[in-house]
Chain A
Amino acid sequence: MPELPGWLAGDQRYEPRRGRDAFLDRSILAFLALLARGGALGGAPAGRVRTDPAAKVVAAVVVLLLVSLSRSTVFLAIVGSGLLAFLAGQDGKLIAGVLKAAAAAALFTLAVLLPSALLGRGPAAAMITAKVFLSVAWVRLVAASTGWAAMTDAFKRLGAPDLFILVFDLALKYILLLGEFALTLLYALKLRSVGRSPGRTGSLGGIAGTMFLTSKEMAEELYDAMVCRGFTGDYRPLPRRPPGLREAALGGAVGLLVAAFFLTRRG
């Protein structure tokens, strides 16, 4: 039986001084939010993705561009109704997530533009806020209904270079893995933050540094795993699924939107 030193074997009375560690709590919250969202994102299995993800991404970008160029509130209203139509087909949790994110972005925009609105540029501020709401909602909708596995697939279809696909794919996976690891480090730091600690930035730097070194090891292990299964540097693309009815419908909807854009253009 080992002999315990006195301070360990006895009772201790410790009254911590008041101090703030807001940065630690906020970092922890940020990572928790990330992992929660990441978990939800990864969950949409390929079988449930009904429309070609590449088509969805292209459609979203076109919609974004049209919204950005448009100066007509009528057009924005049309886009808004289209958004509602798509949202109606999703489940409640997804809708809540999308609308919450869009509302947050819109509120933030409003706050930033408030000074200009008060100085007389009200209509412009309102329009930008509306555009921000619509865009964030659209992008979140596409992302949430696609899942990150299919998103990578989308890039493959759109002809991105091999290296990019590989990097993107691995980035997604390791955001979650490294993120979990970082979270455990942050918790460890928090559990040991029993008082005011000088050099708090230093401890965050240590966490970042440990994350980097771990990620380097992961990279080497991962490369070994790929080499062991025959990878020699080129990334072979997956077989294509031929475009179908849903893609045609999406294309048609986008076409109508483009027409609406031109019709609602003011001189």
Chain B
Amino acid sequence: MIELTGVSCSYAEGEVEVLRDLDLRVGRGDSVALIGPNGCGKSTLLKLLNGLTPARTGRYVFDGEAITPERLRQAPFARRFHQRIGFLFQNSDAQLFCPLVHEEIAFGPRQMGLAEPEVARRVADCLDLLGIAALRDRVPYHLSGGEKRKVALASVLALDPEVLVLDEPMTGLDPRTKQSLRELLVALNAAGKTVLGSTHDFKYVEGLFRTAVVLGADHRVARVGPYQEIIEDERFLRAQNIL
């Protein structure tokens, strides 16, 4: 489903390298954890997957189609691409920009051009799915961290993406919320959605991820393998400055 070949990424006109010669293969329905120390380029990689940052070298192929900045400039292609791959930001404040919660969730479906009854149905379903029906008429700015995260996730799910990319989804949440989020992600993955997430919170993502990709401090892929095996390899994780 997702194929990265020899991808490098940098900013400040090539001065600072953020990703180096990356190869990545994610199949449809996979659940992949992205692990690495701070500053290894996890967030940049996730942005790249969502078409927000261009790669300096290498190729990015999504479901057989090459994703390039030129193609993304064409509105229909961009819209279709962004509908198929949803991105949950690390900073929920940056992700919520509508005056009311139900408008926030409706934004995506409306951009897709769905009819109002369908939009309303999706909004109601997403509110129920995340358990935030009571927040329907609230102002996103005033919500707590966990509530904001749920609203953001609801607004991403409303697009019905095939791939779900999450940037540190558990940060700043209380244990109860982490638990319910984990259960929801497991359910989504079981329903066939590809899930890719970066995380530090190994305890609360148990049973969610089957594969792990480890990025090293040198901005390259250090290791790819079964999630459980890598998590239990303490010596390796210590060497990578993760533990």
Q: Write the residues of chain A forming the contact surface with B, with a CB cutoff of 8 angstroms.
A: 39, 42-43, 45-47, 148-149, 152, 169-170, 172-173, 176-177, 218, 221-222, 224-233, 236, 238-239
Contacts and interface: CB of A to CB of B under 8 A. Distances in A.
Interface of B: 47, 50-52, 75, 78-79, 82-83, 86-87, 89, 91, 93-100, 103, 107-108, 110-112, 116, 137-139, 141-142, 155-156, 159
A227 B111 contact: no
Contact of A229 (B51, B52, B75, B111): B111
B99 A169 contact: yes
A218 B94 CA distance: 6
A42 B99 CA distance: 9
A232 B75 contact: yes
Nearest to A47: B137
A42 B141 contact: yes
Nearest to A148: B99
B139 A225 contact: no
Query: Chain A binding site: helix, strand, loop or mixed by DSSP?
Result: helix
B137 A230 contact: no
B141 A176 contact: yes
Nearest to A172: B99
A224 B48 CA distance: 11
A170 B89 CA distance: 18
11 contacts: A149-B100, A149-B139, A222-B97, A225-B89, A227-B78, A228-B156, A229-B155, A230-B79, A231-B107, A232-B111, A233-B75
Given A232-B79, A236-B111, A225 B141 contact: no
A229 B108 contact: yes
Given A173-B97, A222-B97, A230-B111, 18 more contacts: A42-B139, A47-B137, A152-B99, A172-B99, A224-B50, A224-B52, A227-B78, A228-B50, A228-B52, A228-B82, A228-B86, A229-B107, A230-B79, A230-B108, A230-B159, A232-B75, A232-B111, A239-B116
Contacts of A238: 103
B93 A177 contact: yes
Contacts of A42: 139, 141-142
B46 to A, nearest CB: 11
Nearest to A41: B139
